[in-house]
Structure formats: C-alpha cells, structure tokens
Structure 1
C-alpha cells in the first residue's frame, strides 16, 4: 500500500517539475522573441 502511494506521489511531483521546466522554457522563448522584435 505504501509503495503505491509513493509511486503516485512521485508521479505527481514529476509532472509538477516537468510543468515548471516547460513554463521556464516558454518564458525564455517569449522573452527572446520580444527582445528580437523590439530591437
């Protein structure tokens, strides 16, 4: 029972970390585009 909960918790944390990484990549991408179009 404990291993099942740990697996679920680990999966949720992986999704959260992945989402944060994707958000950061998109943020840097948008900032780069804005800087390029601004100059």
Structure 2
C-alpha cells in the first residue's frame, strides 16, 4: 500500500540528507585532490642519498 501524501518531516529529512551527502562528497574530493597533488609532486619518494658501505 503506497502512501499518498508525503509528510513534511520527510521533506526536511530528505533535504538534510542531501546536504550531508554533498558535504561528504566535497570532503572526499578535497582529500583525493590533496593526495593526487602530493603524490605527483614526489613528496613520497625516498631521499636520493649516497649508498653507504
């Protein structure tokens, strides 16, 4: 049995969920972007020093 009329609380909850989802997606995009920049700059390469014997 389908509900004919949507209650007002469902509309508010949906709007809040969309907002939280967009914030989460933005946070993930920022972290991913920072990771890509850091890796392409070469910050994670080991130091190129002389080999000691």
TM-score with structure 1 setting the length: 0.86
Partner of 2:41: 38
Where has structure 1 moved over 3 Å in runs of 4 or more? Answer: none
Q: Distance in 1 between matches of 2:30 and 2:10?
A: 30
Map 1:1-39; keep pairs closer than 5 Å. 4-39=7-42
Number of residue pairs matched by the alignment: 37
Higher relative contact order (CA 8 A, sep 6+): 2
Larger Rg: 2
Residue ranges of structure 1 left out of the alignment (5+ in a row) = none
- Residue by residue, what CA displacement relative to the aligned partner does 1:1-37 show, whole Å, maximum 9, x if unpaired? xx71110000000000000001100110000000001
More helix by share: 1
